[in-house]
Structure 1
Amino acid sequence: MVDTKSKWEDELGRWLKPFLDRLGHKARRRMCPLYISGLIGPGDRKSVQPMAARLAPGEYDQLHHFIADGLWDAAPLEAELLVQADRLVGGKDAVLVIDDTAMPKKGDRSVGVAPQYASSLGKTANCQTLVSLTLARGEVPVMVALRLFVPESWTSNPVRLKRAGVPVEYRAARTKPEIALAEIDRVMAAGMRFGCVLADAGYGLSAPFRQGLTTRGLAWAVGIPRHQKVYPVEVKLIWPVAGRGRPRKRHIPDVLSTAAEDMLANAKWQNVSWRNGTKGRLEARFAAVRVRTADGPPQRIKDMGQQHLPGDEAWLIGEHRTSGEKKYYLANMPAKTNLRTLAATIKARWICEQAHQQLKEELGLDHFEGRSWQGLHRHALMTMIAYAFLQHRRLAQAGRKKKNQRSTTSAEPTGRTPSHRRSHRSTTTSAMPALQKTNRRKAAA
């Protein structure tokens, strides 16, 4: 019998060994590579039935049982994913990007489905929302966590939660920032290395989220709404003078907080370029000033009612895009950080959007047709493992390309002086190939 397995499938089997060692039972060790091969391989639909039909006719029940009903713990595989992700792109120059991705869904039985804002559609729609954590270095992202956000329409209905198999520990209402912090704790406990946490304004507007990152000793740069209140960095707390009555017992700031956009109104704006895009260098106008965040304890200030006192010192950064759009950010990076570094760090967040798109379009993240919590999260885990494998191949290809370039250069005649000095290039920027796709075989007729 002729072996029809392709080279990438053999490589996948070897790469998956640490994961399979954690699965235990031989049936699971057989179904896991089969499922991941189905996600990577050909076919428009990446749900269980069409994958089984393409790869293992007659084994639909076993494949469905593995992903939806099998009695195995996903935690060891999640832990191994963190190990492999750290090995691929972890380090002090890596970033951990917090975001969420929506998956449109019909009906009301699928776990967590509810009318929510879907960024992929640009409107509110019936969908499931997964909070995501992406570890990235340069232009190579690896998704390391996808956890379902459970809306209030679900957390207030115990019968609905039980029917969908939501574990007891996930049935209490949690905000997306709270879910993100819990997942950050998990990846930190596993020893995954990164230098800075990035998030958009959906997370950055949450003072508890920013404070939680600071409490954990993490550097962060997050988006904020334009009306986010901040204080000048030189703000001082003073004793208010009581016109009458008893002396005041609490300090108040000597100036009032102001909106982020107003704080930057008279700042010095500069053109900053941060990386190469498909149409040349990407650039925008940026400005940055040191401020104190207005997220301290609430305090009645004069006749302004309850106001938040000054919090920690941070950078307030503004961005004016060529489209006319304006964005604002806070970052707790050191005071000596230059504007270009601030801009480049903030803009590194885009990589998670690419990862979301590839997970959906290439690997079928949003193709799962089951309704249970367990099935959805196992499917999401398999797509993340498949994605990590593809990034492993991508980095390996980039390494071979760089090695070949060095070999070619060293083969030049020794008497010839190079016409230009070679610049050092990171394997994760311009030298990095696109996401390595497998040599996909056409499905058998």
Structure 2
Amino acid sequence: MSTCAGSAPAGAVTTRHQYTSRPPAPAVDAVAADLSRALFAPFRRRDQRRKAEMYFQGLLTTSGRKSVRNIAAHLGDPNAEQGLHHFISCSTWDWRPMRAALAAYAERAAPAQAWVVRSMHIPKAGEHSVGVDRLFAPQLGHLFSGQQAIGVWYASERLSVPVHWRLLLTDPWVSDSRRRDRAEVPAKASAESLEQCTAEAVLEVVQNNGGAARRPVVLDVRGGTTATTLTRLTEAGVPVLARVTAATRLAVADRALPGFRAGPLCAQQILEATKGLRRPVTWPDPARAGAVRSALASVVRVTVPDAQGRRHPMLLLGEWSDPHQPPSAAWLTNLGQSPVGRLVRLTRLPRRVDADFAEIGEACGLRDFMGRSFPGWHRHVTLASAAHTAMVLARAEHLTTVPRP
């Protein structure tokens, strides 16, 4: 058998995708108006509804960075900046019901195949914005200075929208009372690793959305997903498919395969020894409409140990972009009855999320919050998620009504 190999750093997404133009303004306006009614109706005060609508429209229409100052300038109201700043950073409204309403709206508008978990790094200088530290960005493959958040996206091959966020907080932000109070970090918050933050974000979605437990969770947070997270989610009843490193140690559970009774082996060793099981699979590229891709893939029954020494049965999914090279990706899943073709299609959904984030999420301000407080960050990213949703749904509706050339 070959020796264990570590995983290569995750590089920037370079997939070219078809949807590079903004949907027509009337299509965006129609979806935005309907979404506004669903999200902002619970506000009891009229002035809060008006500010929510102003900020939402500003995220959709302001050019450049979506700061409060730029939004107010775009709206042309000299008095708007102070009011919008207070609404985002100093008000008391709870963003969690709005996120639940956003997830419910997405559920009604377009059926999803999975929840996709994606990390988002936000470069920032200085020390005063909540969560800023020297952190590892899986997309970059190296450390950076700024904030790190875990987003949970409602995703299909056609579209994806972020419906939940968890901001990573390190020890300096929860152990320093002065820093904590200044940023309004909740008293119950505790320091987390990227892996812990990922697991908590998934469990929050499962708890807050009744249908979440019936939909698979796809984790492609390389550098932050280990067997510990997988077993924790499995014990919570969450169907999960997670990308893991080539060095992840597992035990072969199939008596007929090489490596049975050999004890823990690296994922790459297992896949290389069983590559005779590979079969061609095809899937529609979620980031390029009409394109069909193919690769070789195999599944092997394995067990994953937890901290108590118990072994959890799972499937190890291997993918080969080049049949003469080592596996290009390894995934673990507790979806034991799923055919390999369905599993491979699920592994492609993070590409849909990456494409939508790059094309629409960035432009809607997901990384643009300029304030310093924990509540302010959550309110901004929730409204930016709503703006992203309006744009994505308008684009999808427009593409279904425009004849293809």
TM exceeding 0.5: yes
Residue in structure 2 matching 1:187, options 194, 198, 205 = 205
One-letter amino acid of the structure 2 residue matched with residue 56 of structure 1:
G
Residue in structure 2 matching 1:165, options 179, 184, 191 = 184
Unpaired stretches in structure 2, ≥5 consecutive residues: 1-24
Alpha-carbon RMSD across the aligned residues, in angstroms, is 2.7
Map residues 268-283 of structure 1 onto 2, 5 A cutoff. Answer: 268=276, 269-276=278-285, 278=288, 280-283=291-294
Deviation at 1:203, TM superposition (A): 7.1
Counterpart-to-counterpart distance in 2, 1:121 and 1:226: 18
Q: Do the aligned partners of 2:65 and 2:365 also contact (CA within 8 Å) in 1?
A: yes
Q: Do the aligned partners of 2:252 and 2:261 also contact (CA within 8 Å) in 1?
A: no
Deviation at 1:74, TM superposition (A): 1.7
Q: What do the CA deviations read for 1:203-244 (whole angstroms, capped 9, x no partner)?
A: 774333212322232321111111111112147xxxxxxxxx
Deviation at 1:201, TM superposition (A): 5.1
Counterpart-to-counterpart distance in 1, 2:350 and 2:143: 23
Deviates more, 1:79-88 or 1:270-279: 270-279
Q: What do the CA deviations read for 1:187-216 (whole angstroms, capped 9, x no partner)?
A: 333324552111025477433321232223
Deviation at 1:134, TM superposition (A): 0.4
Counterpart-to-counterpart distance in 1, 2:139 and 2:374: 22
Structure 1 residues 266, 182: closer, same or farther in 2, change over 3 A?
Answer: closer
Deviation at 1:153, TM superposition (A): 3.0
2:365 counterpart of 1:345:
no
2:43 counterpart of 1:32:
no
Residue of structure 2 equivalent to 1:373: 374
Counterpart-to-counterpart distance in 2, 1:280 and 1:190: 33
User: TM (normalized to structure 2)?
Assistant: 0.82
Residue in structure 1 matching 2:99, options 53, 57, 78 = 78
One-letter amino acid of the structure 2 residue matched with residue 168 of structure 1:
A
One-letter amino acid of the structure 1 residue matched with residue 68 of structure 2:
V
| Matched residue count | 367
| Percent of residue pairs bearing the same amino acid type | 24
One-letter amino acid of the structure 2 residue matched with residue 266 of structure 1:
A
Q: Do the aligned partners of 2:228 and 2:307 also contact (CA within 8 Å) in 1?
A: no
Q: Do the aligned partners of 1:89 and 1:135 also contact (CA within 8 Å) in 2?
A: no
Counterpart-to-counterpart distance in 2, 1:196 and 1:204: 18
Residue of structure 1 equivalent to 2:142: 123
Residue in structure 1 matching 2:119, options 100, 104, 118 = 100
Q: Do the aligned partners of 1:131 and 1:180 also contact (CA within 8 Å) in 2?
A: yes
Q: Do the aligned partners of 1:205 and 1:228 also contact (CA within 8 Å) in 2?
A: no
Residue of structure 1 equivalent to 2:329: 327
Unpaired stretches in structure 1, ≥5 consecutive residues: 1-5, 236-252, 299-308, 406-430, 434-445
SS in 1 for 2:346: helix
Counterpart-to-counterpart distance in 1, 2:31 and 2:238: 36
Residue of structure 1 equivalent to 2:363: 362
Residue of structure 2 equivalent to 1:292: 303
Map residues 397-416 of structure 1 onto 2, 5 A cutoff. Answer: 397-401=398-402
Greater gyration radius: 1
2:46 counterpart of 1:22:
no
Which gives a bigger RCO, structure 1 or 2 (Cα 8 Å, sep 6+)? Answer: 2
Deviation at 1:133, TM superposition (A): 0.2
One-letter amino acid of the structure 1 residue matched with residue 176 of structure 2:
N
Deviates more, 1:284-293 or 1:369-378: 284-293
Q: Do the aligned partners of 1:226 and 1:260 also contact (CA within 8 Å) in 2?
A: yes
